[in-house]
Amino acid sequence: MNLVLEHEQSGLRHYLDGRPVNCGTQLRLRVSGDRERESWVWARYEANLHPDRASVVLYTVFGRVIPDECTFLRWPREDER
């Protein structure tokens, strides 16, 4: 997974491409891995970030997705907003 978990003064926070991700943020989730024919869906980021455990859920049109190390997210482009 390309989210990076950082320890901040206020607690834990995920970052994507150097930008902080907040609960409720709409991201794009890759659903096919072929570089030439990638497919993306909208995914709403929700997280429960405790010092001893961090859990993330992505809500999509397909239902809930629990990300793993193969999950790839990106920020929406201007033409997707």
Which pLDDT score, from 0 to 100, does residue 50 have? Answer: 86
* pLDDT, tens digit (0-9, with 9 covering 90-100), for 8-60: 988 899 999 999 999 999 999 999 867 678 899 999 999 999 878 889 999 99
Which pLDDT score, from 0 to 100, does residue 38 have? Answer: 86
- Name the 3-class secondary structure at 9: coil
Which pLDDT score, from 0 to 100, does residue 20 have? Answer: 96
Strand partners, 8: 11
Which pLDDT score, from 0 to 100, does residue 53 have? Answer: 82
What is the Cα–Cα distance from 50 to 47, expressed in whole angstroms? 9
Which pLDDT score, from 0 to 100, does residue 52 have? Answer: 82
What is the Cα–Cα distance from 28 to 25, expressed in whole angstroms? 10
- Name the 3-class secondary structure at 80: helix
Could you tell me the residue range of the domain that residue 27 belongs to? Answer: 4-80
For the chain, the domain total comes to: 1
User: Token digits for 13?
Assistant: 């926070």
